[in-house]
Amino acid sequence: MATTFKPVLLLFVLISLFLSSSAQTCSSYTFSSGKSFSKCSDLPVLNSYLYWTYYPSTGTADIAYRHTGVSSSRWVAWAINPGSKAQMVGAQALVAYKHSNGSILAYTSSISSYETTLQQSSLSFSVSNISAELVSNVMIIYATVKLPSTTVNHLWQDGPVSGNSPTSHQTSGNNLASAGSMNFLSGATTATSGGTSRTKRKNVHGVLNAVSWGILLPIGAMIARYLKVFKAADPAWFYLHLTCQTSAYVIGVAGWATGLKLGSESSGVQYDAHRNIGITLFVLGTLQVFALLLRPKKEHKFRLYWNIYHHSVGYCVIILSIVNIYKGFDILDPEKKWKKAYTGIIVILGIIALILEVITWVIVLKRKRSRSTEKSHHGVNGVNGYGATPGV
């Protein structure tokens, strides 16, 4: 049993590292175009990342602005405001979105007032080689920019497209926090107040779900399947299983709730598969909890059907949980080591389960043979005692 819980130690190390790490997710990304940049920055909100190579001799920078979770009906933009504030009025923007004809439009737009829509216009500084691509809900804008200074105020945004034209973005939440300053020489950044709160909530959401649905739930299932074969573990295995699964459910519900909150703050950004699987997991997990209240006694005639239901739903939840956690990794886009660490935990649990499966079957088969031999022995004694010598 001690071997079974070794992954838990690795789990707590993973959690502590995950929460304390700055999670420079931009550094783990590889551009499909083969382009590379000397520096990058994880922008704190709106699933955005900025990459650049700065040339001090000319004051220009090759930049790439990456925005994840973009549907075909959304526009994205990255802008510099040459003025003294990181605000919309006066911003000089690079804009991209998908046209209804399937092409990706990328152009510059100067914003002179809050009523200004993102129409194509020239900027106060030169921009060349502007282009964009949309692949797997990730929009990337490329350009070479003549910077007004080494340190600039910059903004980034997304919003809906209607009639092949960008329309107004939200004026609340993260859309008001998507601004800051950037030093293209040193890479130093500052963000508006509260800008990192969403990133922290995303990390908390990921950790809670990985721990609950992705690790505690499989461990609880292993306890039920493999410990109860040992007579000395009865009924301790049941209470361990119950504690583990109940803890997984409670933590999982907390993770599910943070996901709902994140979704409500990301209007127009949807991860349908991840969301639908999450809802399914919540429903099935809740049914499992209530099923415990209706658990028949061992000798009850419906106990067999309850067992079939409980095991089927339980294994279904575990499979869906692991699938959804990997979908979550793709959305959260953390450093590759976190995905590798979780994969390592799952592989370790799988190996342990395989070993325990073999041990379980060996024990079960030995007991069956022992019972068969015992019945045969009693049968022979009965014939000799009552049938062979009836006159005694």
Q: What is the residue whose two structure tokens read 């106060």? A: 124
Q: What is the pTM of this model?
A: 0.52
Residues sharing a CB contact under 8 Å with residue 259, sequence separation 6 or more, in sequence order = 205, 209, 275, 278
pLDDT tens string 9-27: 455 444 544 444 434 468 8
The boundaries of every CATH 2.60.40.1210 domain in the chain are: 30-191
User: Which among 140, 163, 138 is positioned nearest to 37, based on CA atoms?
Assistant: 140
Phi and psi at residue 61, in whole multiples of 5°?
-145, 135
The boundaries of every CATH 1.20.120.1770 domain in the chain are: 3-13+197-378
Q: What is the residue whose two structure tokens read 């019972």? A: 371
CATH class given for the domain over 3-13+197-378: mainly alpha
What DSSP state is assigned to residue 132?
E
Q: What's the per-residue H, E or C state across 8-22? A: HHHHHHHHHHHHHCC
The two tokens of residue 184 are 């293209």
pLDDT tens string 20-64: 443 446 888 888 878 899 999 888 888 899 999 999 999 999 999
- Which uninterrupted H or E stretch holds 39? strand 39-42
- Which residues make beta-bridge pairs with 134? 139
Residue 388 banded pLDDT, cuts 50, 70, 90: very low
pLDDT tens string 102-130: 899 999 998 877 666 788 888 988 999 99
In whole angstroms, what is the distance from residue 364 CA to residue 369 CA? 9
In whole angstroms, what is the distance from residue 362 CA to residue 348 CA? 21
In whole angstroms, what is the distance from residue 120 CA to residue 110 CA? 8
CATH number of 30-191: 2.60.40.1210
pLDDT reported for residue 290: 83
pLDDT reported for residue 347: 94
Q: What's the Cα-to-Cα distance from 176 to each of 173, 183, 189, 248, rounded to whole Å?
A: 6, 21, 17, 35
pLDDT reported for residue 94: 93
pLDDT tens string 310-331: 889 989 999 999 999 998 887 7
Looking at mean pLDDT, say which of 32-36, 67-71, 190-194, 333-337 comes out highest.
67-71
Between 71 and 12, the more confident residue is 71
Residues sharing a CB contact under 8 Å with residue 202, sequence separation 6 or more, in sequence order = 262, 332
Do 61 and 53 meet the contact criterion of CB atoms below 8 Å apart? Answer: yes
